Homo-oligomer: A and B are copies of this chain.
Amino acid sequence: MKKKLNIAVLGTGFMGKVHSYAWRAVSKIFDLEFEPVLKVAFGTDANDLSSFVERWGYEDSSMNWKEVVSRPDIDLVDIVAPTLVHKDMAVFAAENGKNVFCEKPCCLSVSDAQAMAEACEKAGVLSYLNHNYRRIPAVSYARQLIQEGRLGEIYHFRGAYLQDWIMDPNFPLTWHLKKEFAGGGPLFDLGSHSIDLARFLVGEIDSVTAEMRTFIKDRPLPGTGAATFTAGTNQSSEKGKVTVDDAAFLLLGFENSEALGSCDVSRFAGGRRNYNYFEVYGAKGSLVWNLERLNELQFLDLTEPYATQGFRNIMLTAGDHPYMSKWWAGGHIVGYETTFVNAMSDCLTCLAKGTAPSPNFRDGEKILQVLAAADVSAREGRRVRCQEVQ
């Protein structure tokens, strides 16, 4: 019989939906010690919270997150609220002895990430930062190929994360566009993912050089009922200042490696709905991947005869690909939601074994350093070493 694992989900937005779906699926797909239970949900809007709880079958709900987190029956706190509140929620959860599962980006600053990590370490609870794209079979397999030496010495990481959802100048000034809530624009939202992939595949980043732009400087204030990706109704005719970047292009130097990297993130790349892309070039092989075709990985093997070399398109749906023995069958692709299921499976396995999952808040700290260094670099027009930023 499986152990029940009582979960409190803090937030009812888009991420709350995806996490609820995935918590319900994880123990069906994977063979785990734990059976997650959707115990209680926290939200700030009574109507949203009520329909969220009914849809997903939460046993209880509350509009007071501290009350939720401090309940004695909660085993794991899942933070899907805006970036601004991650730190307080995570620290409070750790102080109350709860395991912490937290959406990305980790938080607003390096010091906040350190505080989150320290609180969890001190309390002896699990900390997991949900850079779920690591858990995509193609990405896990890319790392496996690199670690097996199939790429040899790495020369380049060329990452990009491009979207287009705020190109309309009338898209309102949601919290994503205010630095005090979001930490940054695509630099934080998308760049944190891309930097996490660079670290996962190549190694720690040593220095950053960056340029940033804010193309639309003022936007209409959101109306009432504005949700994460929507304008809400009764949009205001008044405008407010956008205080984050619309695009950030980074050059990356790595520790312990001469590899040269780049990472272009933008919300102004028309037609790119969710284009999280990387190329990795090494002495023995190359890899290309893109989130919009997440079930595929292109691999070129330079050790083959020159005449038959070519980027081969591997469908990551075989039983011997990471995670896929548990899903469907060869050629049967998986979607976005499964990356959360895979992440939760790994996380719960770590919890069962008492090991630290990856990435965690220490990874968050490293990523925040890169993002902060990029911010300094763009403002000061110079290469910045990550260790400068604390």
- Chain A residues packing against B (C-beta within 8 Å): 14, 18, 20-21, 24-25, 28-29, 55-56, 141, 155-156, 158, 160, 162-165, 167, 209-213, 215, 229, 247, 249, 251, 253, 258, 260-262, 264, 266, 268-275, 279, 281-286, 291-295, 297-300, 302, 306-315, 317-318, 320-321, 328-338, 381-383
For A314, the chain B residues whose CB sits under 8 A away are 307-310
Contact A266 to B155, CB < 8 A, known contacts A28-B56, A211-B260, A273-B330: yes
Say which residue of B213, B281, B332, B337 sits within 8 Å of A274 (CB atoms). Answer: B332
Query: Distance (Å) between the CB of A247 and the closest chain B CB?
Result: 5
For A338, the chain B residues whose CB sits under 8 A away are 335
Residue pair B281, A270 in contact (C-beta under 8 Å): yes
Say which residue of B209, B286, B309, B320 sits within 8 Å of A209 (CB atoms). Answer: B209
Contact A264 to B158, CB < 8 A, known contacts A269-B281, A310-B312: yes
Residue pair A273, B331 in contact (C-beta under 8 Å): yes
For A56, the chain B residues whose CB sits under 8 A away are 28
Say which residue of B14, B215, B328 sits within 8 Å of A155 (CB atoms). Answer: B215
Query: Distance (Å) between the CB of A276 and the closest chain B CB?
Result: 9
Q: In the complex, which of the residues A21, A295, A308, A334 has the most CB atoms of chain B within 10 Å of its own CB atom?
A: A308
Q: List 30 A-B contacts (CB under 8 A).
A: A18-B328, A21-B29, A155-B268, A155-B269, A156-B247, A156-B264, A156-B269, A162-B281, A210-B251, A229-B329, A266-B281, A270-B281, A270-B300, A271-B302, A271-B311, A274-B317, A275-B331, A292-B315, A294-B333, A295-B335, A306-B320, A310-B312, A310-B314, A311-B312, A312-B312, A335-B338, A381-B382, A381-B383, A382-B382, A382-B383
Bound Cα distance from A14 to B330, whole angstroms:
12
For A210, the chain B residues whose CB sits under 8 A away are 251
Residue pair B336, A336 in contact (C-beta under 8 Å): no
Residue pair B292, A333 in contact (C-beta under 8 Å): yes
Say which residue of B24, B155, B282 sits within 8 Å of A247 (CB atoms). Answer: B155
Bound Cα distance from A256 to B358, whole angstroms:
45
Bound Cα distance from A167 to B281, whole angstroms:
11
Contact A300 to B271, CB < 8 A, known contacts A21-B25, A56-B28, A313-B310: yes
Residue pair B285, A260 in contact (C-beta under 8 Å): no
Bound Cα distance from A317 to B271, whole angstroms:
12
The closest CB in chain B to the CB of A1 belongs to: B54
Bound Cα distance from A136 to B14, whole angstroms:
22
The closest CB in chain B to the CB of A14 belongs to: B329
Query: Distance (Å) between the CB of A193 and the closest chain B CB?
Result: 13
Residue pair B300, A310 in contact (C-beta under 8 Å): no
Bound Cα distance from A264 to B318, whole angstroms:
24
Query: Distance (Å) between the CB of A267 and the closest chain B CB?
Result: 10
Say which residue of B164, B165, B260 sits within 8 Å of A213 (CB atoms). Answer: B260
Contact A209 to B274, CB < 8 A, known contacts A281-B266, A328-B18, A335-B335: no
